[in-house]
Amino acid sequence: MVKIHVLSESAPLLLLSLPLLSLLLLPPITSAFTPFPPPYSYYSFKPTSNSQTMSFAATVANTAARNVGKLTPSTSVLLICDVQTRFRPLIHNMESLLHTTKFMTSVAKELEIPMVATQQYTKVFGPTIPEAFADPSDIGTLCPVFEKKKFSMLTDECSSHLQTLSATNEGGETPRTNYLLLGIEAHVCLQQTALDLLELGHSVHVLADGVSSQQCYDRKMALKRMEQSGAWITTSQSAVFMLLGSAEHEKFKSVSALVKGRMGEVNEFNDE
């Protein structure tokens, strides 16, 4: 054991100087040492032409680009989570949620956006509510329905179907990675679905006027939780006009008629 003896009153001053003295023992830092090299070294790259300068600037700009949550029909899927008959009298603002679901399924049909629905333990909670679609015959046909007991919509069967939709995307160069999400309950099945999709690297757009829970506070906290995790919290109308992108879109008139119809219906979420 090494013992340190204080020999005089000046010894504490010597001890305080030890950290400074220890720095002198470190190897010298050369000019080549870069503790935190940037992705692109401005010091090592010296453009020799205007074209190289522009290319370098474009590379840096692309690196700084952010995903701001834009939507296009060719890269989107509408997910309808557990909008079932047994929940109808129990869910906060359920009738308004149904109006929004009918509106969004109608828009998806117009814009040829794939739709996917799930049902939680159908034997207990019943089938999808017919009023969630303008044409109830779309349930199980145009919009496939997947049975589940897992809370998240991403069962093996449903996940496999979503991968197929992405692989067979004919409208765009990129796969379908934008998921528009509505349904119930916000703090359970819907939230777990959003988190699973985010974890896989997808972009999740939660339609605030199309999601709810039995208790208003659970809905409020779920929206906050999903936003904190990286989901985009938006409204059905905002998402629809982003999907259109322009008044010159070939489906603008038909979709605008659907927007007008939805605005004529009760939306209790406006009061929150």
Q: CA–CA separation, 195 vs 77, rounded Å?
A: 16
148 is a catalytic site residue: yes
Q: CA–CA separation, 226 vs 186, rounded Å?
A: 10
Active-site entry in 81, 143, 158, 189 = 189
User: Rounded to the nearest 5°, which phi and psi values hold at 88?
Assistant: -55, -50
Instruction: Dig out the tokens for 2 from the structure.
Output: 């090494």
Q: Judge whether 204 and 230 are in contact, CB under 8 Å.
A: yes
By CB neighbour count within 10 A (0-12 exposed, 13-18 middle, 19+ buried), where does 159 fall?
A: middle
123 is a catalytic site residue: no
Active-site entry in 82, 102, 109, 158 = 82
Q: Judge whether 172 and 207 are in contact, CB under 8 Å.
A: no
224 is a catalytic site residue: no
Active-site entry in 81, 109, 148, 209 = 148
Instruction: Dig out the tokens for 265 from the structure.
Output: 């219906």
Active-site positions read: 82, 148, 189
